[in-house]
Amino acid sequence: MKEGDVLTRRYRLLERIASGGMSAIWRAFDQSLHRMVAVKVLDRPLDADHGERELIRREARAAARIIHPDAIEVYDYGETVTSNGRMAAFVVMRLLDGTPLADRIADGPLPWQEAVTIAARVAKVLAAAHERGIVHRDVTAENVLITPDGAKLLDFGIAAFVGEQASERVADYGTPPYVAPERLAGVITDPAVDVYSLGVLLFEMLTGDTPYPERTWEEIENARREGPPPLPDVPGLPTEVAMLCRRCLDADPRNRPTAQHVADVLTESIAPQPETGLSRGLASGVAIALTVSAVLAIVGWTDTMEPVREQPLAAVSASLGPPVGEPTVSAEPVDRSEEARVRTEPVASPLPNVKAYREPETRSAPIGEVEEPLNAAPIASVTLPDAVDAFSAAVQAAQDRSMLQEHVAVDLRQVADNLIHDADTTGVLSTLREKVDTRHREGLLPEHVHRALQVRLDVIEKALESGGPA
């Protein structure tokens, strides 16, 4: 394959960004949805396929079954015969920008808090995969990408289903220091092999090297016979984390914890300590103040205080103005100086540098700002570009306030832009509605943002129905 090639009349290859033994990953442009994507392509002669095409198809199916924000998201799978008679099988995925974890480790051990944070996120992805019967089987530092949104687990290329007979070609598809001992014996696929690899990854992040630094299968087997690796000796590292790492590396898979248990222990180890004494009293005062604010919001007062965890949609709407065609709601400001005086700093998220995307617990947007019916007359005069701009502005505002992850926001804006350029506007609008609802079900779209986007989608639909000027 070369730059400029188009797969199935849709994906234009722009730049090769990585290559492996049997495939290459390209930065590509989706000409149907007008967005940048990553395309993993297996390009082989028709008579030279030795099961690799089935592997890449299995990768797409396995990754598509996992619902977790830190797992690579698969958009499409396809096969095509190129102009020179070669078979190209490909997987289309979300394009991520970041740094491979292996590059970070090459500069030296990570601070233990950062290492534990990354391992906890990877453990949660593995737990989600195991819940759906999928075993990754290739958890390595090369397959973890550090992005602005945190660690992402990539490459389900040799994933298998729980209970499936292990591949006889494990030596061809595995990185020796990360491979659990039982995989070499050809036992059936079990989630414990991922937990072993996770233990290697955690040990490597903490110390700068794998527990068995040997590089060949024979050397590693010999090293394992000499006994378990030492506990990671890192100043300040909680004892429970060091012991957990040792348990993950146990030669007997029955003695290893589950990925969910690993995630829970690691998350707890970096959680803030419970507040006591005066600080607890202050926290109680803040809770009372927020409860009062919520009551005032219900009866129509406008709350001007900044939120503790997540800014409600009322603030987003205020920054944007009402949706196109929606009547403006106004109220007299309320003096919150006393309430603001007793506010304290928000409690840290259990995982440092990880943004929280859950609903606020005590705040709600005034109903009028979210669910106010749209009058037919103003909507009829709205142009489609204005309606699309209002939708995109709401998405951007939610992203700016950390209510929406970047990749979700970019995807929604890109699909919305297609309403201007695509002839099948009805189909694009249906796709956009489905994406909004899906992200909400996945927990990536807070309830109040979901409602606001639905309002703006209704405005877009009215603009299409009225044939508003472009």
Buried b / exposed e over 55-67, threshold 16 CB at 10 Å, is bbbbbbbbbbbbb
Provide the H-helix boundaries in 364-444: 367-371, 376-380, 384-400, 406-421, 425-441
The pair phi, psi for residue 210, each rounded to 5°, is -75, 160
Distance CA 202, CA 116 (A): 7
Distance CA 30, CA 7 (A): 10
How buried is 46 (Cβ within 10 angstroms: 0-12 exposed, 13-18 middle, 19+ buried)? exposed
Distance CA 366, CA 359 (A): 15
Q: Which residues contact 362 (CB under 8 A, 6 or more apart)?
A: 287, 290, 291, 293, 294
Encoded tokens for 155: 């490459």
Paired with 36 in beta bridges are 29
Distance CA 124, CA 105 (A): 21
Angle at which helices 406-421 and 447-466 cross, to 10°: 10
Q: In what order do the strands lie in the sheet with 150-153?
A: 99-100, 144-147, 150-153
CB neighbours of residue 172 within 10 Å: 10
Single out the catalytic residue among 138, 194, 386, 458: 138
Active site residue 411: no
CA distances from 82 to 56, 69, 89, 152, 440 (A): 17, 34, 10, 32, 39
DSSP state of 141: G
Identify whether the C-beta of residue 28 lies closer than 8 Å to the C-beta of residue 38: yes
Please name which of 93, 175, 170, 164 lies closest in space to residue 135, comparing C-alpha atoms. 164
Distance CA 257, CA 127 (A): 11
Distance CA 12, CA 191 (A): 37
Distance CA 382, CA 378 (A): 7
Amino acid at 244: L
How do strand 144-147 and strand 150-153 relate by DSSP bridges?
A: antiparallel
Identify whether the C-beta of residue 459 lies closer than 8 Å to the C-beta of residue 380: no
Active site residues: 138
